[in-house]
Structure 1
Amino acid sequence: MDNQRNLLLAVALSGLLILGWDLGMRYFYPQASLSGQTEVVATGNEAPATVTAPGSIETGTAASVAPVDLATALAAPERVRIAAPRVEGSINLVGARIDDIELKDHRAIVDEDSGPVQLFAPQGTPEQYFAQFGWVGQGVTLPTANTVWQASGEALTADNPVTLTHDNGEGQTFTITLSIDDNYMITAQQAVSNNGAGPIVVRPFGLINRTSATASASTFIAHAGPMGGFGDTIEYGPDYDDLIEDGTHTPEGGAPDWLGFSDIYWLGALIPGEGGDATAGFRSLGNNIFRADLIYAPMTVPAGSSVTSSSKLFAGAKESALLDSYRDNLGIQNFGKAVDWGWFEWFVKPMLWLLRTLYEFLGNFGVAIIALTVIIRGLLFPIAQKQFASMAAMKAVQPKMKAIQDRYKDDKQKQQQEVMKLYKDEGVNPLAGCLPLLIQIPIFFALYKALILAIEMRHKPFIFWIEDLSAPDPAKILNLFGLLPFDPPGFLGIGVLAVLLGITMWATFKLNPTAMDPVQQQIFNFMPWILMFVMAPFAAGLLLYWVTSNLLTLAQQKYLYSKHPQLRAQAEKDKAEQERTKAREGK
């Protein structure tokens, strides 16, 4: 009766685990919108007017911005085209905003005809996300958000910079010279020439403005939102909700190395120029609009003189090798940590490197994951051999252990001491069987991080129906593999890979040579199916790894059984004894 009660309790707790996991993930980490929202965005005039405090930019008088669709906004005539090797888009001459960035090498969705990712978009569009460079100052008329700049050319390319010029009519000329490299880095050189009667004081700034409506959601596995490198530290935060509550956030790590807004795969970041004395911060502007500010120390410009400052803007994909190259070549400290690797960076990055290498050789990321699994299991095979040898030794001492338990059944402390002495005398380690599992945990987590965070995995197909290994298996059984017009939610979205995971794990448990009582046996019988539900929403690549690992485990166990026949004999004896016990209980 106790066994039946314990079994029912285990089943109930397992059901709560399935439901609780799905509901908890949906509550704490809601899915990010993958398409633009029709929300009307209202924001202040982002043109700075005056400096209210060191390190802050006053936005001026709040003014509503009428909503506009992307095509209409980009059709405006006051634009300079961007035509770089990996970036297309345009610069808005009204306000000198970089507000149109398309990433040519990355599709918006898995469909090959979907078009490129639209990273930056103009103010007032549902996808609002742009960068702006300018000045705040005293005793001088400055360019504003409505200033129409003059451009030196028709297109910004990797070989041809573009200079934007504005003459305020009072003796001061402002210029912003923009250049772009072969990837995603834009350099902005800001200059002020003072031909007026007296000195002026100006402070160059750069800002990034974006809506959170189309941002990636922060999850327990990776931060998305405000982010930056400050001194020796990286700040993965605050979240957008925290910034709404607090209003502003000033990083505490020291002078900024870079700051901006991060999505899972994309990054918009400002990088101060060398030797620039700059301060940084984040702020909420209301209506789900946020801003990252980079502002330099005041510069005095005497009459007849000019001053310059330089900043950089990264607007592109978080390709880890590229970010590391900017760190090495441009001296941008900790720029590679814009990918939130976490504590396992030392393990995740080598695994990602190996996956990329296998992919380059094999030409298919799914096959590369299978090859990686084979390599990992091959490296762990000596440990598995020791595990089975330890299990064989444990079987050999079972009669002696049973004798000790019977002899000292009324003295548990003495019983434990004698059992430990038996282990020592026989050279048996009862924990040796746990070592492979403990080693698998960081490997599994590292691969999970790599599949979720590394853009190299995004939209990579395997075979047949699996077109994106970084997304869940799309072939879901409950909607008859897409024939029925609904998408099963969360843990109910059981796909083919999840079913294979359950079957292969059940098979590995069946080969487990460890004797179990009836309750344990029942738990191990339904545990694979619980994991099938829990793992169903995970990336297809992760399930592919686990299914392959289970198949290799089955082959490995069969081989090792042949090397340790006493384990096979004992397992069959235990199974027969369990069947007899079950038959007696059924009478």
Structure 2
Amino acid sequence: MNSPRSILFIAFLVVSFFLFQTWMVDTAPGTQAPSKSTTSSTTDSGNSTVPDPQGAVASDASVPEGDTPATQARTGQLVEVKTDVLDLVIDTKGGDIVSAKLLQFAESLDSEERFQLLQRQPGNIYIAQSGLIGPNGIDSSGGRAQFSVAKTEYNMDGGRLEVPLVFTKDDGSTIKKIFTFEQGKYHVDVRYEIENASQQAQQMQFYGQLQQTMAAGEGGSMIMPTYFGAAYSHDDDKFEKYDFEDMRDQRLNVSTQTGWVSMLEHYFVSAWIPTQQQENRLFSRVADNSQAIIGVIYPMIQVNAGETKTINSTLYLGPKDQDAMAALAENLDLTVDYGFLWWLAQPIFKLLQFLQSMVVNWGLAIILTTVIVKAVLFPLTKAQYVSMAKMRMLQPKMTALRERYGSDRQKMSQAMMKLYKEEKVNPLGGCLPMLLQLPIFLALYWVLLESVELRHSEFVFWIQDLSTKDPYYILPILMGASMFLMQKLQPTPTADPMQQKLFQYMPVIFTVFFLWFPSGLVLYWLVSNLITIAQMLIIYKGLEKKGINVRGK
């Protein structure tokens, strides 16, 4: 097996693996279902209750089901809140965020319309809810608190903005729900201030949940498989995907001191991040057989007569900004789905990010990252070619051994091992370097596929969005041409007609695949091919100077 052809063949297998992986997701939603130790196998039918952290079930402590088409009409006053990065709408009925636009992100390239993360439309609900439940709570499946508000429009003027909602109970107790925003930040601090004006102690629990219509989104395409669904983190698991179909089968029910719950799509995420100083409970359910709900519930608190207590939580609504999310909550940056190679992909992304900060252009950063990676891997590449050349030089001696021992496989094997030892040749020397490069390729693939920084980022000329396909297919065609040139420079093809045909059509097959790949990925592959061609010429020239007939001519 000669080296360059082996790399192409393995790369073809990698692409085939991506397609197979997508097929698996489409036919049997492929995210791992939560383990039985952290889920309940019951399904939701009506106004079910959620166990409190002490294990007791109170009939009046049920978490509200959330919005459905039948309940959308029963809304309160709508309050618009605008910061420099967020444009939100809060419904005073329950104090839920029912709309969220990200002002720094266009809906599509060159569009004036801003990307909408949360919305409440007929047939498409994606909202962030929170409330107080329990014996003296103000929210339940039977009804939500109707808050009053000083005004219906709030605009950030400075570095900080507070939006207070007020609810007064029949006994004179007041509950303030205060949303706090910071300039340039996508997280929202949600704070409840509970002032008990009654003569009796009051008990209640905070809950925060995300609700989304299951059929509202999509999980990418055949060529670009991206995850769409829920995810969570807890004490025993840094990051767990929780597909909507898994949510139908098993309800999440796990106690944890750390963690969060979220809803994910390609470049964006919403997440409830509870305080980490107590044991909270993560839960999920499916309402009306179409609404996926995942949330967190706090332990019961007691507010004595005349006492005031505060409950805090954080809601993130924004892009998958790894730095911002890592600073906000442990493991939240893992929602940037780099797969099982996240530990390798993260430093590669850091390198890409650093280079972009120097050259400004993300396309140039991809080129520089490719150059650096190929330079680091050059010793492996050289070892690969040298090993293959040495193996080629041994072919006459190996042919003689086959003629000598015939069908005696044991003696043939022993003689070959002796020959390798005498000639100081490692038969795996050509394969191992190639296998070591595969994880880096896979990690780079996911970095370029998942990084929101590449969304709507232009390169040069006709490439205005590195996250989408080349509109004129110029990069894929150039990439195919570079693969064809690589084949011409490679040693004499194998005598096996099947392999010969496979490698002959490989540039065509890859060109077709890459017609729909994001431009950033195709750019990486094209530059990688060009560098490989230069490395091949350098290595071949050095070997030929030593009298090694590299190309078998």
- TM-score, normalization: structure 2? 0.82
Letter in 2 for 1:116: R
> Is the Cα–Cα contact under 8 Å of residues 132 and 138 in structure 2 kept in the other structure?
no
Aligned to 2:288: 286
Q: Which of 260, 272, 283 lines up with 2:262 in the alignment?
A: 260
> Is the Cα–Cα contact under 8 Å of residues 259 and 276 in structure 2 kept in the other structure?
no
Higher-Rg structure is: 1
Matches within 5 A, 1:335-374: 335-374=332-371
Q: Which of 507, 519, 534 lines up with 2:485 in the alignment?
A: 507
> Is the Cα–Cα contact under 8 Å of residues 49 and 59 in structure 1 kept in the other structure?
no
1:230 aligned onto 2:230: no
1:457 aligned onto 2:454: yes
Alpha carbons of structure 1 residues 54 and 352: separation in structure 2 relative to 1, 3 Å: farther
SS for the counterpart of 2:389 is: helix
* C-alpha deviation, 1:320, in angstroms: 0.6
- Once structures 1 and 2 are overlaid, which stretch shifts more, 449-458 or 51-60? 51-60
Matches within 5 A, 1:100-111: 100-110=99-109
Matches within 5 A, 1:360-439: 360-439=357-436
Q: Deviations over 1:373-411 (max 9, x none)?
A: 222222222333333333332333333222222222242
Aligned to 2:326: 324
User: RMSD over aligned Cα, in angstroms?
Assistant: 3.7
Higher normalized contact order (CA 8 Å, seq sep 6+, divided by chain length): 2
Letter in 1 for 2:537: K
1:131 aligned onto 2:128: yes
1:59 aligned onto 2:59: no
Letter in 2 for 1:202: M
SS for the counterpart of 2:467 is: coil
Q: Deviations over 1:240-259 (max 9, x none)?
A: 1221344x32247x335211
Letter in 1 for 2:439: P
> Is the Cα–Cα contact under 8 Å of residues 208 and 292 in structure 1 kept in the other structure?
yes
* C-alpha deviation, 1:441, in angstroms: 0.9
d(CA) in 1 for partners of 2:66, 2:458: 50
1:249 aligned onto 2:248: no
The total of aligned residue pairs comes to: 515
d(CA) in 2 for partners of 1:49, 1:19: 39
Aligned to 2:87: 88
d(CA) in 2 for partners of 1:560, 1:86: 52
Letter in 2 for 1:406: E
Aligned to 1:543: 522
- TM-score, normalization: structure 1? 0.78
SS for the counterpart of 1:171 is: coil
d(CA) in 2 for partners of 1:50, 1:507: 65
SS for the counterpart of 1:558 is: helix
Aligned to 2:173: 172
Letter in 2 for 1:552: I
Q: Deviations over 1:116-160 (max 9, x none)?
A: 2111223x4454222222211326765875643222454264423
Letter in 1 for 2:214: S
d(CA) in 2 for partners of 1:313, 1:379: 41
> Is the Cα–Cα contact under 8 Å of residues 120 and 127 in structure 1 kept in the other structure?
no
* C-alpha deviation, 1:50, in angstroms: 11
> Is the Cα–Cα contact under 8 Å of residues 130 and 210 in structure 1 kept in the other structure?
yes
Letter in 2 for 1:234: K
Q: Which of 277, 295, 300 lines up with 2:297 in the alignment?
A: 295
Alpha carbons of structure 1 residues 162 and 573: separation in structure 2 relative to 1, 3 Å: closer
d(CA) in 2 for partners of 1:385, 1:367: 26
d(CA) in 1 for partners of 2:107, 2:28: 22
> Is the Cα–Cα contact under 8 Å of residues 345 and 444 in structure 2 kept in the other structure?
yes
* C-alpha deviation, 1:351, in angstroms: 0.9
1:163 aligned onto 2:164: yes
d(CA) in 2 for partners of 1:44, 1:176: 30
Letter in 2 for 1:268: S
* C-alpha deviation, 1:291, in angstroms: 1.6
Alpha carbons of structure 1 residues 106 and 190: separation in structure 2 relative to 1, 3 Å: same
* C-alpha deviation, 1:500, in angstroms: 2.9
Matches within 5 A, 1:512-531: 512-513=490-491, 516-519=494-497, 520-531=499-510
* C-alpha deviation, 1:23, in angstroms: 8.8
Aligned to 2:115: 117
> Is the Cα–Cα contact under 8 Å of residues 392 and 566 in structure 1 kept in the other structure?
no
Alpha carbons of structure 1 residues 167 and 304: separation in structure 2 relative to 1, 3 Å: same
> Is the Cα–Cα contact under 8 Å of residues 233 and 261 in structure 2 kept in the other structure?
yes
Q: Deviations over 1:164-193 (max 9, x none)?
A: 111123322211122112311111111222
d(CA) in 1 for partners of 2:27, 2:128: 30
Matches within 5 A, 1:571-582: 573-574=552-553
* C-alpha deviation, 1:84, in angstroms: 2.1
Structure 1 unpaired stretches of 5+: 1-9, 31-42, 327-331, 476-494, 575-587
* C-alpha deviation, 1:497, in angstroms: 3.1
SS for the counterpart of 2:217 is: coil
Alpha carbons of structure 1 residues 185 and 233: separation in structure 2 relative to 1, 3 Å: same
